[in-house]
Amino acid sequence: MAQKERLISKEEFATIFGEATELTTPCKLYSMTEEESFAPFITCRHIKRAWDEIGILETDRLPGFSYIESSSSLVRVIYDKYYGLKAKKIIQVTKLEQGEELLIDGQVEYDFGKLHIALGTGLKQNLMIIEDFLRDPNQFAAGISVISNQCPESKIPVAQIRYDWSSSIQLNAEFPCSEFQDVLEGRVDRRKERHGNRESYPTTYFQWEYLLGAKIGSQTFKNEENNDLQWLMRVTAINNQKMTPIEGTGYLGAISRSSYNWGARRQGRLRFTRINPETGEILMFAVPDKIDQKDFAQSLVKDSMNEFLGQYPVAFCVQQPGESGQMFSTVKH
């Protein structure tokens, strides 16, 4: 079946794919400052192919970034009929004068009602938008976050991992030092840092550091009056038979890795598990054990939703005493 592409109205888009929020709500644009700007979606396209049926919403061409001559930018949101409104791809690009598009940032969001899982990439912090950076995969950082839909204004992930976190740390995964329901509802102890307007909050973290290996630790406030975080850690082993006490907290943690490969890019699977012995709550976050920044960005832009999620599967699980376990997985069964 040949690809069929056509422009459609917002009403027809809603009939085919559902009442997407973007049909009535402007999108937030990438910014290097704290100042927010938004743009409405004005174009709807429908593409039908042998393997999928997608709908694309696009903003008009917007002013480009001052460091890229004769450029413009735009945001497109892509829905796949197979997933309905459960999943969407959000991409912002800069368009060069000759028509070439360069990725600024993008992510796939998979919605589960009370929370959603976001797999995305973007320029590392404090980088200005220049063409050389946009062409260099090493200037991008991929990450995966589990985000509450019940209190989106809190902006504190339920769980998150960042790949190539620093020059020496290959990955960093975190859970806030709070119970699952508390994080969902925004009840997390957070304090404004002494320098700047950012807020900090206690976390338990899992890392892999070159030469040193696997680490488990915490960032906690030094005391009730002090807003500074102290870092505590201990070296651990992958697939350790015993849970490791997490310094500075009452939690236990473990890192395990599957021995099988998953997806076309042949990643293994890492699982970060945290137990609260006092309440009995167990959290588990399962993610690819490594991500190639260039491959990830190319797959995000070019592959279908199903192909992308199949190559980078994610699961978040929570088990509470006396209740059935809850699993949120981006692998559609």
Q: Between residues 83 and 164, which one has the greater pLDDT?
A: 83
Task: Flag whether pLDDT at 37 surpasses 80.
Answer: no
Task: Flag whether pLDDT at 86 surpasses 90.
Answer: yes
Measured between alpha carbons, how far is 271 from 120 in angstroms, rounded to an integer? 19
Question: Which pair of tokens denotes residue 140?
Answer: 């991008």
Task: Flag whether pLDDT at 29 surpasses 80.
Answer: no
Cβ–Cβ < 8 Å for 92, 74: yes
Task: Flag whether pLDDT at 198 surpasses 80.
Answer: no
* pLDDT value of residue 245: 96
Q: How confident is the model at residue 49 (pLDDT cuts 50, 70, 90)?
A: confident
Please, which contacts does 220-229 make with residues 24 or more away whose CB atoms are closer than 8 Å?
220/177, 220/248, 220/249, 221/189, 221/191, 227/191, 227/192, 227/193, 227/194, 227/200, 228/194, 229/200, 229/202
What's the mean pLDDT when you consider all of the chain?
90
Whether the model clears a pTM of 0.75, i.e. scores above it, the answer is yes
Residues 6 or more apart whose CB falls under 8 angstroms from that of 45 comprise 5, 6, 7, 8, 55, 56, 58
Question: Which pair of tokens denotes residue 238?
Answer: 């992958």
* pLDDT value of residue 102: 94
Q: Between residues 260 and 273, which one has the greater pLDDT?
A: 273
* pLDDT value of residue 286: 96
* pLDDT value of residue 262: 54
> Parallel, antiparallel, or unpaired for β 38-39 and 41-48?
unpaired
Task: Name the maximum alpha-carbon separation found in the chain.
Answer: 66
- Give, in degrees to the nearest 5, the angle at Cα 128 between 123 and 129: 75
What amino acid occupies position 181?
Q
* pLDDT value of residue 154: 87
Q: Residue range 248-261: average pLDDT? A: 88
* pLDDT value of residue 277: 97
What amino acid occupies position 244?
T
Residues 6 or more apart whose CB falls under 8 angstroms from that of 31 comprise 37
Cβ–Cβ < 8 Å for 286, 308: no
Coil/strand/helix, residue 308: helix
Q: Residue range 101-111: average pLDDT? A: 96
Which tens digit of pLDDT belongs to each residue from 135-186?
A: 999 999 999 999 999 998 888 999 999 998 888 999 999 999 999 999 999 9
